[in-house]
Chain A
Amino acid sequence: MCGSNDSNFAGRLLRRLGKNSHLIDAATGQTLSGKEIPGLIAGFAAGFLSAGLQAGERVLISCGLSPASTLAYLGAMYAGLVPVLVDERALATSGEPILARARAKAVWVGKGVQCDWARRNGVTQIEGNFDARPAHSLPPAPCKEEDLAVLMPTSGSTGVPRLVMVSHGNLRANTEAIVQSQCLGPDEKAMLIMPVSYCFGASVMHSHLYQGGGVVFDSRFMFPDKVLRAMNTYGCTTFAGVPSVYNILLRRSNLRSIQLPELRRFLQAGGALAPESVREMRGIVPTAEFFVMYGQTEATARITYVPPDRLGEKLGSVGLPMDNLMIRVVDGEGRELAAGQTGEIQVRGPSVCSGYFDDLEATERKFGDGWLKTGDFACRDAEGYLWIRGRTSEFIKIRGVRVSFGEVETKVAGVPGVYECAATATRHPEAGEALALFIVADDGPSIVAERVRRALPPQWTCVSVRVVPELPKTENGKIARSQLRTMA
């Protein structure tokens, strides 16, 4: 196993495809069968190689909600290249900085997707599909478990994301743990409304194909009923979403009247979903299990999950570590804490990645000594279930996208009339979390607050801008975030 030369994860996936391994685009009805997929992936691999790319070189893959980007991603990996995944919606804003950070040699985009900056950067732009070719005519590029398989961005559309180095062994370990925890069989079909450039989306695609199942992509979640109906049309057994997705299903769809007889499980990750929303989901679709999970891109994808049969009594917890992971909760000095005490979650195991691409300093800080420092604070109960107390001290998750408080505060502090600013997170029915801002103003308070509101980009959902005489500070002069939360 370890050290052998046939650990190419894309190659492994191909060998495991079965008669249910369809890739479907629900918006167009386009369906690729498990028989066609290996040839299509081999076609992409051959196409990339014939474009002059060589083993180990990076290629940006623009990921939309269609089978094509999955084929391109797996094709690049199959060829021994390193795909660098970017959300198609963020291509215009994040594509160029990610290209530079990854020092990629080429960019692949789906047919008709604009990418006018590729040529400007002197890299090859490849668009659309390649012809299929027999998979046996091009075997997967030989690689070892520890070889780099993919560079995954850490966040969505805000700022330049770090690129997590995910190995073939990481992918295999996390995929197998997910398969086991969800009891996935060969007749599964997942409905995916998030792209595979997000580790949650990738993990759902990997785990379903790995077991010989299939994936349906649907880009129409702005009309959730269409997605619910497509789940029935294609017999989807799994639905995956971040908290805002479940809040939309509960408030902005006909979930209550559209029966989902084939559905076996809901998967929820990407931030905390309010326990009352979980309870409501369970009540509306009691026939499907509900998996509450916790993860990080730095650990490939999934870290913990609540076994569905314990959900009722553990509501609000993110559960137990996957079978192949070790977890500890430590204090500021790195000492392991007893049950009931709150500290940072640290993770160790075969799905913990080796670090960030081309960022030794951040890699050392986050991955040094073999334990992944998640930055999330939690305590464990007597049974080992993790209860997250503070999502992180540095980030807010708006609509599933991580935004650092530092970034928000820097932006707001630049608004004329703002003397000082502090941002905190507050629960939001649709965005999951939203910003609550506190400012100390130099000028007339209402004018400054209005200026701040106008200066915020639209994706930073903000519920309040409050002008205060001073900000709460710790004795070191840092903003007292815990106190801010109670003020929000």
Chain B
Amino acid sequence: MEELLVKVKAAFSSTFDIDPQTITLDSTPSDIPAWDSMGHVELASSLEHAFGVSFDVDDLMAMENVKEICRVVQSKVGKVQGVRV
């Protein structure tokens, strides 16, 4: 989980050009000015690229804060690994 959070933070940092230190599990769009509608799309692309997963519409809607993003990514990564096994 810790490793996943580091990668998620890295995606935030590169998408929004912010210091990863400022990102917490509770961060929401209202804490990060660049996290607007287009920002959300770009963040999702960057996460998809970083983790080799793809999100559907309901995943995007669920990604309301960093904690939820980690949860969604975790479930996707789990599925991808499951297929490999």
Task: List residues of chain A with CB under 8 Å of any chain B CB.
Answer: 89, 92, 193, 219-226, 244-245, 248, 252-254, 399, 430-431, 457-459
Of chain A, the residue at the smallest CB distance from B42 is A458
Q: A252-B57, A458-B16 are in contact. Are A89 and B41 (CB under 8 A)?
A: no
User: A248 and B15: CB pair below 8 A?
Assistant: no
Closest to B58 in A: A254
Q: A244: which B residues are within 8 A, CB to CB?
A: 37-38
Query: Which 10 pairs show the lowest CB-CB distances between chains A and B?
Result: A222-B40, A221-B37, A222-B37, A225-B61, A399-B38, A89-B33, A223-B61, A458-B17, A222-B29, A430-B41
- Interface contact B36-A252, CB-CB below 8 Å: no
Give A431's nearest chain B residue, CB to CB. B38
Interface centre among B38, B41, B57 (most CB of A within 10 A): B38
Give the total number of A-B pairs whose CB atoms are below 8 A apart.
48
- Chain B residues in 8 Å Cβ range of A220: 29
B residues touching A (Cβ–Cβ < 8 Å)?
Answer: 15-17, 29-30, 33-42, 57-58, 60-61, 64
Query: A222-B40, A458-B15 provided; 4 other pairs, C-beta below 8 A?
Result: A222-B29, A244-B38, A248-B37, A431-B38
A–B complex contacts, Cβ < 8 Å, 13 sampled:
A221-B36, A222-B35, A222-B40, A223-B61, A224-B61, A225-B57, A244-B38, A245-B37, A252-B57, A430-B41, A457-B17, A458-B42, A459-B34
- Residues on B with C-beta less than 8 A from A223 are 40, 60-61, 64
- Docked pose: A225 CA to B58 CA in angstroms: 9
Contact partners of A245 in chain B: CB under 8 A: 37
Q: Is A252 touching B15 in the complex (CB atoms < 8 A)? A: no
Min CB–CB distance B49 → chain A (angstroms): 14
In the assembled complex, the Cα of A55 lies from the Cα of B65 at a distance in Å of 45
Which residues of chain B are near A222, meaning CB under 8 Å? 29, 35-37, 39-40
Cβ contacts under 8 Å, A430 to chain B: 38, 41
The chain A residue sitting closest to B64, CB to CB, is A223
For A219, what are the chain B residues with a Cβ–Cβ distance below 8 Å? Answer: 30
Residue of A nearest to B30 (CB): A219
Q: Return chain A residues, CB-CB under 8 Å to B37.
A: 193, 221-222, 224, 244-245, 248
Query: What are the residues of chain A within 8 A of B61 when measuring CB–CB?
Result: 223-226, 254
Q: How far is the CB of B70 from chain A (nearest CB, A)?
A: 17
Cα separation A224 to B39 with both chains bound (whole Å): 13
Minimum Cβ distance to chain A for residue B32 (Å): 10
